[in-house]
Structure 1
Amino acid sequence: MIRYIRRAAGFCLILLVALLLNATRVQVFDADSLDNNSANRRQTIARYDQPRGDILVDGKTVTGSRNTNEQLKYERTYTEGPLYAPVTGYASQTYGTTLIENAEDGILSGTDSMLSTLPLINELTRAQQPGGDVASTIQADMQKAAYEGLGGKKGAVAAIEPTTGRILALVSTPSYDPGRISGTDTSSTRAWTSLNSDTNQPMLNRAIRQLYPPGSTFKVVTAAGILDNGVATDINSATDTPNPYTLPGTTFQLTNESSSDQCKNATLLYAFEVSCNTVFAKLGVDVGLSGMVKTAENFGFNDTGVKIPSGVSASNFDTKMSNDHLAQSCIGQYNTSATPLQMAMVAAAVANDGQIMYPHLVDKTMRSNGGTVSETGTKDYRQAMTVTTATQLKTMMEAVVTDGTGTNAAIGGATVGGKTGTAQNGIDNSGTPYAWFISYAQKSDSNTPAVAVAVVVEDASANRSDVSGGGNAAPIAKAVMEAALN
């Protein structure tokens, strides 16, 4: 009898060990896969069971959370949502997250282990810390100046502090209110459908995700290539450039907007002031493809890895093309394309003696009690050109504002450099051109530039003859620069 009892007890022990092993497998080895199973709503419920941390502009919150008294308790809200949407992105219980809401989701949702004051406490207790805050680099007055300047037209503005890379304004219009799609109700669904079907694409972040032909603003890059490669050394000396210029290997004659013949053999300074296509196309071909590719990539073109912390679309300068296409590319046409942020970096490189600092949108992240979790330090990105070339380009860009096509950007008591651009658009250039202006501003009594700005306006309702970088985009850049200087 005792023998049978022992056998039964042994069998029960085996079953107990098997049960413990299975429990261990489920709780330890399979925990992550079960947590991440789409059918498991525990994590989702826990995620929205507390208020989300906030995104700050100038130390003030531009986001919030409201108690819905539903299973997913707290829903994201936005202060001045359309103004800051290109910065914050959205945090939706249905559609996920974008931009800062996505890049800093761990901090904002309270799931980042760095929020804990004790190492590994989150992993051991599986607890969720209160959501932390994210301080952006955006300056409210500059953001508003850019947003109001665009006035709802299709376009974008990017502004950078040249010496640090801090992004001071990032605007895309038309915009949208991210709070409309925060929840799970039918109104959020309807808003999502409406926003995605809108032909104006209000959810497209044109400042960092839309590529435009940069037009004549690219002549800043071409001028850097011309000077750095010794094709021209003195910006006040005549160049050997015809007007019109026959593109290499073709019979096509490139002309200039101006009907005068003063672009023929013009100095680099004059050609830059009045934006002679023929001069920059011809001299860009003289630099050669490899030289121009190297120069463009020194400014950040073709870089697919830029994050601010959200990903930025790579601006393009073709690495393989014939000389006729190279000529067109050197005046910002053919396949050359750029984001407004990229062109702000071009202007910043000139203002900062040729050095580009890595652009960033997050200043620091913090715990709910205000303690710092991380800070974004200043970091070198590229040396776009020599200091000597940058000095010459400053002279050229400042001449555009004092004597050339960018006089609408002049500001009393400040040194302003700029470059206008009117990029062709549409089949056979039948569409309304894009109006560009890139610039920088520095107080007359300061040793460092205050801001570099890029503005692009793509207003399909405007009369073609009225669209120009100097007329449409320069006043917007001026308003942003004034806000920075003040």
Structure 2
Amino acid sequence: MIRYIRWCAYFCALLLAALLVNVARVQVWESAAAASNPANKRPAIQRYAERRGDILVDGRPVTGSRDSGQLLRYERTYRNGPLYAPVTGFSSQTYGTSFIERAEDRILAGTDPGLSAFPLWYELSRGRPPGGDAATTIRAAVQLAAYTGLGGKRGAVAAVEPATGRVLALVSSPSYDPSELSGTGARVKAAWARLNADPARPMLNRALRETYPPGSTFKIVTAAAALDSGVVADVDAPTETPDPYPLPGTSTLLPNASTGCADASMAEAVQWSCNTVMAKIGVRVGLRGMVEAARRFGFNDGGLYVPSWVSRSNFDTDMSPDQLALSAIGQFNTTATPLQMAMVAAAVANGGEVLSPYLVDRTTQADGSQVRRGDRRGLGRAMSPATALRLQELMVKVVEDGTGRNAAIPGATVGGKTGTAQHGVGNAGTPYAWFISWAKAQDAPFPAVAVAVVVEDASARRGDISGNSAAAPIARAVMQAALATPTRRR
């Protein structure tokens, strides 16, 4: 009898062991699969059971959370949603997250281990600390100046602080209100369908994700390559360039929009935006030299994050001489994001050093205790300090007595470069108006801001489109706002 009891006890122990093994299998090995199963609603319920942390501009939240009273309890809200949409992105219970909402999701949702001194306790208790905050580098006055300046026209503005890489403004127009996508149901699905079907593409972040031919603004890169390589030793020396200029190996003549470009110097070519001179200089620098110069400024780099990913700006690495001539003036296959061209202007303003742009100044716990901080990070040197100083002088001439007079600010030193970029089949598309610039306050030790503006402006008459008339006034307003509201040092 005792033997049977013993065997029964063994069998029960075996069943208990099997039960424990199965529980471990479900809880450990299959937990990820169960959590990702679309039929499992518990992760979503848990995710939205608490208020989400905020995204801050100038220390003030531009986001919030609303108790919907539904199963997915808290919905995201946005203050001045269209103004900050290219920065915040959206946080939707239906469509997920984008931009800072995605890049800093673990901080905002309260799941980042850095939010607690005892992360293991929250792991074991299946709880989480309150969502943390993400403080941006954006300055409200600069952002508003850029948004107001575009006035609903298709285009974008990027402004950075040259000495640190902080992004001071990031605007894409037309924009949208991320609040429309926050919840669930037919209203959100209808808004998503409408926004994605809109031919103006309001959800496209043109400042980070759209690439345009940069036109004559790229001549700053070509000029830097020429000076650093020694192809041009004297910026005031005649270049013996005919007007128009025959593209090498072809019968195609490259014209100028400006007059007086025949035999112009490189200084005059930058000041009056002579295509012929800068195209010839690009050919003289050569393919290898131009590719390397563009790379130093950030072109052909697909790994730029701010912390959201940035589209790769392109400068072809295999071209014929005639294609190189066009690429040297920002045409052919040369394309750039507005942020990339702001980096070009910032490199000139910063003595030739290129800084990695960044949008998140710091992340904090709910009580304000710091979790991580964004810091100055160099990407290398785009040009020598002497070349940067010479280009600063040339860009100042553009604004003081050249094609960019509309960017001038009384009492400040402003350097700039205009651009009118052709595009489309046979250049039939409405040209893009560009302006890149930097500004330094009177008696300030270094420039405070570098700006890039692109205006697609499909409603304008083709003959009226120029960087000076369409883009330079916007850049001036952005620079004025930046000079009037200095960055608070940490």
TM surpasses 0.5: yes
Report the CA distance between 1:320 and its aligned residue: 0.4
C-alpha distance in structure 2 between counterparts of 1:372 and 1:44, whole Å: 27
Report the CA distance between 1:372 and its aligned residue: 0.5
Report the CA distance between 1:356 and its aligned residue: 1.0
Higher deviation after alignment, 28-37 or 280-289: 28-37
Match runs of 1:239-258 below 5 Å:
239-258=239-258
C-alpha distance in structure 1 between counterparts of 2:121 and 2:456, whole Å: 52
1:343-374 CA-partner distances (Å, limit 9, x unpaired): 00000000000001110000000001111000
Report the CA distance between 1:119 and its aligned residue: 4.6
- Which residue does 1:4 correspond to in 2? 4
* Structure 1 residue matching 2:208: 3-state secondary structure: helix
- Which residue does 1:388 correspond to in 2? 386
The AA in structure 2 aligned to 1:366 is T
Determine if contact 1:225/1:295 at 8 Å carries over to the other structure: yes
- What residue ranges of structure 2 are gaps of 5+ in the alignment? 485-490
1:279-325 CA-partner distances (Å, limit 9, x unpaired): 00011000000000000000000000000000000000000010100
1:408 to 402, 406, 410: 406
Higher deviation after alignment, 314-323 or 113-122: 113-122
- Which residue does 1:185 correspond to in 2? 185
* Structure 1 residue matching 2:313: 3-state secondary structure: coil
Report the CA distance between 1:65 and its aligned residue: 0.5
- Which residue does 2:226 correspond to in 1? 226
Determine if contact 1:88/1:99 at 8 Å carries over to the other structure: yes
- What residue ranges of structure 1 are gaps of 5+ in the alignment? none
1:57 aligns with 2:57: yes
Using structure 2 for the length normalisation, give the TM-score. Answer: 0.98
Determine if contact 1:162/1:348 at 8 Å carries over to the other structure: yes
- Which residue does 2:163 correspond to in 1? 163
The AA in structure 2 aligned to 1:212 is Y
Determine if contact 1:358/1:378 at 8 Å carries over to the other structure: yes
C-alpha distance in structure 2 between counterparts of 1:407 and 1:248, whole Å: 33
Determine if contact 1:440/1:449 at 8 Å carries over to the other structure: yes
C-alpha distance in structure 2 between counterparts of 1:440 and 1:367, whole Å: 35
* Structure 2 residue matching 1:209: 3-state secondary structure: coil
The AA in structure 2 aligned to 1:146 is A
- Which residue does 1:426 correspond to in 2? 424
Determine if contact 1:113/1:122 at 8 Å carries over to the other structure: no
C-alpha distance in structure 2 between counterparts of 1:422 and 1:406, whole Å: 12
* Structure 2 residue matching 1:120: 3-state secondary structure: helix
C-alpha distance in structure 2 between counterparts of 1:440 and 1:400, whole Å: 12
1:320 to 314, 318, 321: 318
- Which residue does 1:371 correspond to in 2? 369
C-alpha distance in structure 2 between counterparts of 1:130 and 1:32, whole Å: 23
Report the CA distance between 1:127 and its aligned residue: 1.8
* Structure 2 residue matching 1:220: 3-state secondary structure: helix
- Which residue does 1:477 correspond to in 2? 475
- Which residue does 1:121 correspond to in 2? 121
C-alpha distance in structure 2 between counterparts of 1:158 and 1:382, whole Å: 21
- Which residue does 1:457 correspond to in 2? 455
Report the CA distance between 1:118 and its aligned residue: 2.0
Report the CA distance between 1:186 and its aligned residue: 1.0
The AA in structure 2 aligned to 1:142 is V
1:359 to 357, 375, 383: 357
C-alpha distance in structure 1 between counterparts of 2:242 and 2:124, whole Å: 74
C-alpha distance in structure 2 between counterparts of 1:248 and 1:295, whole Å: 21
Report the CA distance between 1:8 and its aligned residue: 1.7
Using structure 1 for the length normalisation, give the TM-score. Answer: 0.98
Report the CA distance between 1:28 and its aligned residue: 2.5
Higher deviation after alignment, 5-14 or 344-353: 5-14
The AA in structure 2 aligned to 1:192 is W
The AA in structure 2 aligned to 1:467 is I
Determine if contact 1:231/1:287 at 8 Å carries over to the other structure: yes
The AA in structure 2 aligned to 1:416 is V
The AA in structure 2 aligned to 1:19 is L
Higher deviation after alignment, 321-330 or 123-132: 123-132
1:152-172 CA-partner distances (Å, limit 9, x unpaired): 000000000000000000000
Report the CA distance between 1:456 and its aligned residue: 0.2
The AA in structure 2 aligned to 1:483 is A
- Which residue does 2:488 correspond to in 1? none
Give aligned-pair identity as a percent. Answer: 61
Match runs of 1:28-427 below 5 Å:
28-258=28-258, 260=259, 262-427=260-425
Determine if contact 1:300/1:382 at 8 Å carries over to the other structure: no
